[in-house]
Structure formats: structure tokens, C-alpha cells
Amino acid sequence: MTKIAAIIGGGVIGGGWAARFLLNGWDVRVFDPDPQAERKINEVLGNARRSLPGLYEAPLPAEGKLTFHSDFSDVVRGAIWIQESVPEQLELKQKIYKSLQEYCDPLAVIGSSTSGFKPSELQNKAVRPTQIMVCHPFNPVYLLPLVEVVPTPMNNEAIVQSAEQFLREMGMYPLRVRNEIDAHIADRFLEAVWREALWLIKDEIATTEEIDNAIRYGFGIRWGQMGLFETYRVAGGEAGMRHFMAQFGPALKWPWTKLMEVPEFTDDLVDMISDQSDEQSGMHSIRELERIRDNNLVGMMRALKAQDWGAGALLKNQDELLNQKAQMVRTSDTLDLSKPILTVQRAVPLDWTDYNGHMNEARYLQAFGDATDRFMEIVGCDAKYIASGGSYFTAETHIRHVDEVRAGHSIRIETHCVDGIGKKMHLFHQMFEGERLLATGEHMLIHVSLESRKASEPAPEIAKNLQRIAQAHAAMAQPEGMGRKVGKK
């Protein structure tokens, strides 16, 4: 059964929520009186379609249905998640909760994207405070996993746990805030850095670009993969955190900060910051800056995934869940052998493209290599078998580049087993986007003993599975291009 999410307020954050839900298979209904809301959300959705699927090696579920509505009854009835992302005006939020609770399911999650208000303030005057909580995300919502979940003792714990489970299923990280506090957790750090930055500009110590460079070329990268305390623990060397605190703790008493003061937002200060920011980034449109941001985030998070670290560990877990949902985890006994085997289905990630925006040659080989790995798992040559001392090594590869494909496009690879007798595994892969053939990859592999590093017979069960698939595929028509040599007509 398709899950339904209602988005109240379709600005930058509301649009990001809509994209996150939609691309995870939810139907999304939007309420926003702004006549430009549909255009804005579709533009955000376009960026999300281009970037989010490329975080994963697994395919995302089929995209949900997006609709726009003009009254609360249509938008919230039947929804199991209602996300409010309207302007930061407490009376407005309270008024909206009162209206939507007339029509919504009493057990639906009502989450607020507020960055400042406490949940008890939101619940005040509500008909059912039990279902209202803070679910504060970070922009872009469709890429960044953190959501601060802030309930109160008034909340129905089952609804809170349900919200956290839904977030995890969408690849997000619900951070339960133990006790409510103004601005929650993360924004309190951001506010501290923001205040210091304002003083540095006002006192003409640094420009907006210099401050940004200090962050992105230095501690920002460290924080992005280790956070604050783990970074400082490493800084303490072999002696650890205790040594770091003993060495640098006294500096907290030095007059390094103006956190207790905030410069007045005079016209001169606002003009100074605006002019510097225009000089720094004015050559790019907002949509261009968003795409640059998304490129960088995807690259960093995929790098973290390769290390199974930080936000990358979440992506790796989500890949496993998505592969299970897409039924990509299969054995030779559960396959329809009357047709080629689907071995890869995924989006082309941003970091797979070249200067032309097309998938580069090396990534075709990687995709076909992933298809071979998946086929090996299907016949039983999985991580456990390889650890026992046997594997298949690629002896020869031939790739034909038929057509181009861009970042964000969905590709699939169908694998034909040409030969599977004895030590040989001969595979022919075809890569498609829809029905359009993009490339073919032909691979000859030899079974090898990892101890002797020489050709050897595979285990009987693997030989049996491989031969059964090869015999079934022999009855199919030979794919065009199979056996072709370089330059052969």
C-alpha cells in the first residue's frame, strides 16, 4: 500500500521534504497558497532526481505521485505523515495545526520543520498535542540525512517511534533530542559560528569569502566525517581526549570570542555583507549553486560510503534495504532463466560523469564489473565462498560504447551466460536506459584457487548452478554484438 505524505508549505524546505518522500515511493500532496509553489517544487524535484538516486548502488522504488491542493481536507485526509514547513511564526503554526487536525488521522505524524520553536510551544492550543513534534531537517532535505526529532512528554511514544522508523526507511538519521531547547542542537552550533562571522566582517578582519574558505578548506571537512568531539580526540594524539582538554581547555578563558554580543544589523553592515557575497558568488544563479552544492555533497558522501563511515555508513545500509525491496538479492533457484538476468539497476551518480556531463569510459567498466559481481553472487560465488579460497578472475573484457547517458539517468544491465562449463565463466552484459541500448560488455572469467593463484575447478554447487543457467540461456537468441572483436563489422 502506497504511503501518503502531506506537505504544508512548499518553500525550500517543504520542497526538499516533498522530493525526499516522492523519490522513496511515497505519494505527496502539497498545500501552499503561493501561485509559484508548483514551479518551485518541480525545480527542486528536478535537482533531487539528478542527485539523490546516484548516492546508491541500488535502485530507488518507483517514484510516488505528486499533487497540489487548495484546502486542508484534501491534503491531509489519509496521510500518515504531515510535514509543516511554513514561516517561523508561532501563531501561524498553531492556527494551521488546529485546522488540519479537524481532518487528519489521529495517529498520523505531524512534524514541524521549525529551526527555533520548542515542541511544547507548537503543541499549545492544539486539539491533539500527542501527534505534534519537531522534525527539523537540514537543507537540502533530499540529500542530507540528519533530522532532529524533538518530542515532549505529551507525545504518543508510538507515533514518535513510527516517525523515526519512517525516516530510517528513507535513508535519514533521526536524532532524538532528549529535552526540548530553543533551536534544538545543531542550529545552536550554527548560530555561534554565525555570530562570530558577523563580528569578523564588521571588524574588517575577514570577508564572506575568506570566512567560507576557512571552513571549507579546514575544519569543515573534518567535521563532515568525524564531528566535533571525535575530531578533538584525534587532535589529542595518543593521549586522547583528556590530553586535548588539558592542553587547550585554558584557552576557553581567553578573550577569543564575542559570543555574548551581536553586532547591530545596521544598513552599513547589511550592505557590506551583501556586497561581499555578491562579489563572491553572484556569477552563479541559485539553481547553479544548488547543483554545485549537490555535486559536492554526493561526492563527499559517496567517498564516506566507500569507507563505511559517518553518513556513508547510512548510505551503505540503505543500499542493502533498497536492494531487498527491489528484489535484487536473489539466488539461481529464484530466477526466471528464460530471459537474461537483471544484475544491475541504478541511477548514474554525479561523480561518474566527465567534462561533457556523460558517463565516462571507466564507469562503463565499473558498471559491468558490478554486474559480474552480482552474477557471481547468484551462482554462489559470494563473500563467504571467496573467503574459503575460491573466486573467478577476469581474463578478457570487450566493451562496446553504443550510446551516451547522463548523471541521474536510470540504467539497468541484463546478463546472458554464454558458457559455464568447467573453469570458465563467459558473460555478455547489455546496458540499457529504458529500451535504449547504451553499451555491451563481454567478459571471460576463469575460476582460480586463491591459495595457489592458479586456475582450478569451482565447488560442485557453483558448477551446477552455473551450468544450469548457461544451458537455459543457450536456448535464447544470441545477443547482437556477442563475440565481436574490436573493429569487426
Tens digits of residue pLDDT in 351-396? 898 888 889 999 999 999 999 999 999 999 999 999 999 999 999 9
List residues bridging with 7 in a β-sheet: 30, 83
pLDDT of residue 329: 63
Q: Could you count the other beta carbons within 10 Å of the beta carbon of residue 303? A: 13
Summarize the confidence of residues 111-140 as an average pLDDT: 96
Q: How many CB atoms lie within 10 A of CB 211?
A: 19
pLDDT at 330 (0 to 100): 67
How distant, in Å, are the alpha carbons of 209, 263, 275, 288 from that of 267? 20, 12, 12, 28
Measured distance between the N- and C-terminal CA atoms of the chain, rounded to whole angstroms:
50
For residue 154, the model assigns a pLDDT of: 96
Strands (E) located in 386-485: 390-401, 410-419, 424-433, 436-449, 454-455
Burial class, 396, CB count within 10 angstroms (exposed 0-12 / middle 13-18 / buried 19+): exposed
In order of start, what are the domains of the chain with their CATH numbers? 4-184 (3.40.50.720), 187-283 (1.10.1040.10), 330-474 (3.10.129.10)
What is the reported pLDDT for 332?
A: 65
Rounded CA separation 249/242 (Å): 10
Reduced to 3 states (helix: H, G, I; strand: E, B; else coil), residue 231 is helix
**Is the confidence at residue 25, as pLDDT, over 90?**
yes
Q: Quick one: CA dihedral 298, 324, 394, 308, positive or negative?
A: positive
| pLDDT for the residue 286 | 84
What pLDDT, in 10s, does the model give residues 149-174?
999 999 999 999 999 999 999 999 99
The helix/strand/coil state of 321 is helix
Rg of the Cα atoms in the chain: 27
pLDDT digits (tens, 9 = 90+) for 426-480: 999 999 999 999 999 999 999 999 999 999 999 999 999 999 999 999 999 988 8
Mean pLDDT of the chain: 92
pLDDT tens-digit readout, 245-297: 777 777 667 777 777 777 887 889 888 888 898 888 888 888 888 888 898 89
Quote helix, strand, coil % in the chain, to nearest 5.
45, 20, 35
- Predicted confidence at residue 110, as pLDDT, reads 98
Q: How far apart are CA 354 and CA 9, in angstroms?
A: 37
**Grid cell digits, residue 460:** 560442485
Give CA–CA dist 82/85, Å, rounded. Answer: 10
